[in-house]
């Protein structure tokens, strides 16, 4: 069975003390992870050191950065390189989140650069893809996501897919009042799986976890995670409450 992953994305939320308290509450819950299960918590850059220290002795729990630069180094004020993350003990990073695509106008080509930098520095990448409402309404979601994957994963070499996780974000169902059905989630995950199999071969493609990032909550996590091509979730708002995120962790397939 593929890895089953509950990934939290705190985004730009929580004060240092609030973040420390939330992480302590999660850690102190002493939840048990099965062999193929993992928990990944993506925190703001300022909290990476604190968070890493709090989970360093807990098997299956990892801290992730929410982004990295497409460049090695240089005059890129405000950016953080993949090498900096790796040398600071961070082993996971999110690349291509829908909010960065929207607000920072990140292109597929730029994200290919970030992906390559991260993998070259031995980071495991949670690569996000997904379509907006206009694309879903015209029924072009599969082609839209395929282009995202083709243009950003085009330069991967054999073996690099071992450090790749895909997160599918139905942008049209996040904060819009519209809801993606479990069937719609499975259909897109199955399509992404097919695309990965074509690109990397079935043996490799079938081992890449695909997470669902469409407003996962305790009430819907078990049903969504129960789908054959859904391997967990990338969780936003619900990850800011320890009780909710712990319930989502417990909803992973064993």
> Catalytic residue numbers?
97, 169
N-term to C-term CA, the chain:
9
Angstrom distance (rounded) from CA 109 to CA 112: 5
- Is the distance from CB of 142 to CB of 184 less than 8 angstroms? no
CA nearest to 125, candidates 88, 157, 153, 87: 153
Which positions ≥6 away from 4 have C-beta within 8 Å? 34, 36, 37, 38, 209, 225, 231, 232, 252, 253, 254
CA 219 to the chain's CA centroid: 20
H/E stretch holding 119:
helix 108-120
Which positions ≥6 away from 52 have C-beta within 8 Å? 63, 88, 89, 90
104 burial level (CB within 10 Å; 0-12, 13-18, 19+): exposed
Q: Phi-psi category of 49—alpha, beta or left, where left has phi over 0 and alpha has psi -120 to 50?
A: alpha
DSSP secondary structure code for residue 188 in this structure: H
- Is the distance from CB of 151 to CB of 108 less than 8 angstroms? yes
71 burial level (CB within 10 Å; 0-12, 13-18, 19+): middle
């Amino acid at each position: 069975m593929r890895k089953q992953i509950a990934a939290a994305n705190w985004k730009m939320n929580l004060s240092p003390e609030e973040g420390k308290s939330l992480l302590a509450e999660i850690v102190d819950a002493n939840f048990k992870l099965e062999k193929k299960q993992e928990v990944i918590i993506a925190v703001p850059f300022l909290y990476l050191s604190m968070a890493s220290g709090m989970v360093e002795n807990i098997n299956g729990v990892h801290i992730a950065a929410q982004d990295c630069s497409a460049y090695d180094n240089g005059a890129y004020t405000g950016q953080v390189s993949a090498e900096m993350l790796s040398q600071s003990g961070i082993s996971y990073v999110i690349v291509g989140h829908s909010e960065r695509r929207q607000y920072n106008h990140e292109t597929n080509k730029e994200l290919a650069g970030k992906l390559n930098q991260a993998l070259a520095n031995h980071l495991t990448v949670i690569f996000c893809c997904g379509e907006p409402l206009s694309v879903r309404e015209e029924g072009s979601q599969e082609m839209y996501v395929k282009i995202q994957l083709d243009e950003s994963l085009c330069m991967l070499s054999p073996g690099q897919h071992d450090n790749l996780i895909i997160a599918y974000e139905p942008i049209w169902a996040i904060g819009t009042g519209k809801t993606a059905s479990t069937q719609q989630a499975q259909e897109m995950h199955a399509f992404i799986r097919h695309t990965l199999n074509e690109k990397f071969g079935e043996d490799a493609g079938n081992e890449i976890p695909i997470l669902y990032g469409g407003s996962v909550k305790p009430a819907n996590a078990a049903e969504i995670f129960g789908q054959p091509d859904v391997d967990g979730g990338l969780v936003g708002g619900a990850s800011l409450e320890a009780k909710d995120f712990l319930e989502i962790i417990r909803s992973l397939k064993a």
